C-alpha cells in the first residue's frame, strides 16, 4: 500500500467532488467545500432548497423553458453549491471570513457576490464557467483565484486506488 498523502488542494477538491455526488440537479453536478486554516467549515452541493421537491421529481424548469446554460440563473429551483455551503456555515453560526472555497465548477456571478459578502478570500475551482462578470467582481474584490489543472485527478486516482484497491477500481471501470 502506498503511504502518500494528497496535497491540500487535491484533498479538498476530492471532498468537493464527493459533495457533488449529492446534487439533485439534472444538468450539472456541483460541489463546494469551505475551508479555513486547513479545517473544513462546511460543504454544499447544488439542488432544491430544504424540504422542496427535487428537479428529478418535478422536472428541470430551465430545460422546460429552454434556457441556455449561463443565462437567467433566477429561473431555477436549485440553489448553487457555493450558496449552500455558505448558508450551511451561517446556519451553524460558523464564520467564513478569511476562508477558502473549493468548487468543482467556477462560481457564477450570483455565487461570487455571496462569496465576496461572506469574506471568503480565495476561490479554487476545477471546471471553468463562462461568466465574465463573476471574474471581474472577484478581481475587483481582490479574491485570489486558482483554476486547478485536470491533471490533478491523476494523483486523486492513485490515492483512491490505495483506498479501494486496484481490483475494485478495475471492476468498476469495466461496468461504466
Q: What pairs with residue 105 in β-bridges?
A: 127
Helix (H) or strand (E) holding 31: strand 31-36
Query: Are 37 and 26 spatial neighbours (Cβ–Cβ below 8 Å)?
Result: no
Any idea which residues carry the catalytic annotation? 82
The position carrying cell 478570500 is: 121
Interatomic CA distance for residues 146 and 109, integer angstroms? 16
Q: What pairs with residue 123 in β-bridges?
A: 101, 145
The position carrying cell 455551503 is: 85
DSSP strands (E only) in 37-99: 39-45
Dihedral class, residue 114 (left if φ above 0, else alpha if ψ from -120 to 50, else beta): alpha
Amino acid at each position: 500500500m502506498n503511504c502518500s498523502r494528497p496535497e491540500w488542494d487535491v484533498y479538498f477538491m476530492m471532498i468537493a467532488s464527493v459533495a457533488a455526488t449529492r446534487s439533485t440537479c439534472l444538468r450539472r453536478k456541483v460541489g463546494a467545500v469551505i475551508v479555513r486554516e486547513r479545517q473544513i467549515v462546511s460543504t454544499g452541493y447544488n439542488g432544491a432548497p430544504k424540504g422542496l421537491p427535487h428537479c428529478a421529481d418535478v422536472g428541470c424548469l430551465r430545460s422546460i423553458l429552454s434556457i441556455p446554460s449561463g443565462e437567467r440563473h433566477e429561473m431555477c429551483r436549485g440553489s448553487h453549491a457555493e450558496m449552500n455551503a455558505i448558508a450551511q456555515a451561517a446556519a451553524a453560526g460558523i464564520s467564513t471570513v478569511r476562508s477558502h472555497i473549493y468548487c468543482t465548477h467556477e462560481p457564477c456571478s450570483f455565487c461570487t457576490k455571496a462569496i465576496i459578502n461572506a469574506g471568503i478570500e480565495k476561490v479554487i475551482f476545477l471546471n471553468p464557467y463562462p461568466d465574465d462578470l463573476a471574474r471581474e467582481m472577484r478581481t475587483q474584490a481582490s479574491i485570489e483565484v486558482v483554476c486547478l489543472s485536470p491533471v490533478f485527478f491523476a494523483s486523486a486516482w492513485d490515492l483512491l486506488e490505495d483506498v479501494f484497491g486496484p481490483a475494485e477500481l478495475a471492476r468498476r471501470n469495466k461496468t461504466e
